[in-house]
């Protein structure tokens, strides 16, 4: 950790009140830390969405301790972990794949530990359903205050994010919908390299056919930005995280196509 004022971020699916409790726990243990609530609005239980938020956002935050908490398996045998990265950050959260894409974006996993030492949890026991308060926030605070990662528990091998890889063929790309953003755009588990592998170099404005498993299809165009099509028209573009997305200019692709994660879509050349 840097010798300057420690930095802690929190990203959860808890909503404001429960995330505020977590921030309060961090402040009470590490009062010198700057604590940023990166988001308390991740879709409940949406591990892939949370993972993509962390992957996109954390490289732009100061080096610090970053707690990511989207934990549908809370209270089960899934492990609580902390991951040190090549950049020097430590990521704290459930071992369900949430943290690994961000760790890779921050220089890769250097070491990881299970958060099992009771000295670095809240006293009085751990609830079955609020590890964000009782396990993850105290761990983040103690790490920010200078406790070495090795003090928290046994070494761990973090689980990767379990999402279907894109399927690339000549003239066809099938990709999973990772999440829906607040504008109704559908972010896919594929990037521009996958698009080039399927279709070769594509000029902006190139028409494509978008199809989905129930037989639905619609014509879209590959564009640089939303304004490349008229309001209300659909497009494929590369979003700010470097992933492909489906959008409607000034509208919702999720509503227009009736699609939600974790479904898959296929892009083909338009007739």
In the predicted model, is pLDDT for residue 1 greater than 70?
A: no
Confidence (pLDDT) at 3: 57
Residues 6+ apart with CB under 8 A from 131: 69, 71, 74, 75, 80, 94
**Mean pLDDT, to the nearest integer, of 10-35?**
98
Q: Assess whether the previous peptide bond of 262 is cis (omega < 30° from 0).
A: yes
Region for residue 191 given its phi and psi (left: phi exceeds 0; alpha: psi -120 to 50; beta: otherwise): beta
| Structure-token match 């050349």, residue found | 269
What does pTM read for this prediction?
0.93
Q: Which helix (H) or strand (E) holds 195?
A: helix 192-199
Edge-to-edge order in the sheet of strand 109-114: 34-39, 7-12, 65-69, 90-94, 80-85, 109-114
- Tell me how far apart the alpha carbons of residues 241 and 57 are, in angstroms, rounded to a whole number: 9
In the predicted model, is pLDDT for residue 216 greater than 90?
A: no
Question: What is the end-to-end Cα distance of the chain in Å, rounded?
Answer: 56
| 124 or 103: which leads in pLDDT | 103
| 215 or 121: which leads in pLDDT | 121
Confidence (pLDDT) at 214: 81
Are 13 and 43 contacting, i.e. CB atoms less than 8 angstroms apart? yes
pLDDT one-digit tens code per residue, 35-45:
999 999 999 99
Confidence (pLDDT) at 2: 47
Confidence (pLDDT) at 243: 96
């Amino acid at each position: 950790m840097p010798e300057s004022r420690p930095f802690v971020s929190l990203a959860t699916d808890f909503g404001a009140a429960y995330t505020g409790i977590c921030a309060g726990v961090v402040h009470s243990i590490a009062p010198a830390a700057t604590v940023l609530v990166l988001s308390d609005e991740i879709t409940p239980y949406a591990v892939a969405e949370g993972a993509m938020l962390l992957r996109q956002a954390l490289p732009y935050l100061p080096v610090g301790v970053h707690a990511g908490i989207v934990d549908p398996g809370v209270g089960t045998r899934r492990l609580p972990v902390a991951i040190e990265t090549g950049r020097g950050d430590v990521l704290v959260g459930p071992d369900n794949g949430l943290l690994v894409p961000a760790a890779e974006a921050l220089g890769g996993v250097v070491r990881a530990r299970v958060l099992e030492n009771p000295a670095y949890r809240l006293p009085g026991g751990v609830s079955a359903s609020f590890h964000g308060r009782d396990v993850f926030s105290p761990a983040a605070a103690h790490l920010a205050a200078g406790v070495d990662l090795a003090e928290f528990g046994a070494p761990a091998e973090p689980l990767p994010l379990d999402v279907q890889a894109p399927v690339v063929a000549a003239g066809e790309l099938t990709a999973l919908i990772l999440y829906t953003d607040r504008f109704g755009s559908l972010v896919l588990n594929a990037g521009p390299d996958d698009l080039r592998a399927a279709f070769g170099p594509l000029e902006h404005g190139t028409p494509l056919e978008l199809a989905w498993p129930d037989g639905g299809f619609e014509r879209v165009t590959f564009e640089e930005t939303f304004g490349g099509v008229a309001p209300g028209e659909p497009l494929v573009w590369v979003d700010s995280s470097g992933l492909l997305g489906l959008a409607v200019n000034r509208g919702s692709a999720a509503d227009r196509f009736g699609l939600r994660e974790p479904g898959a879509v296929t892009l083909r050349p338009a007739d």
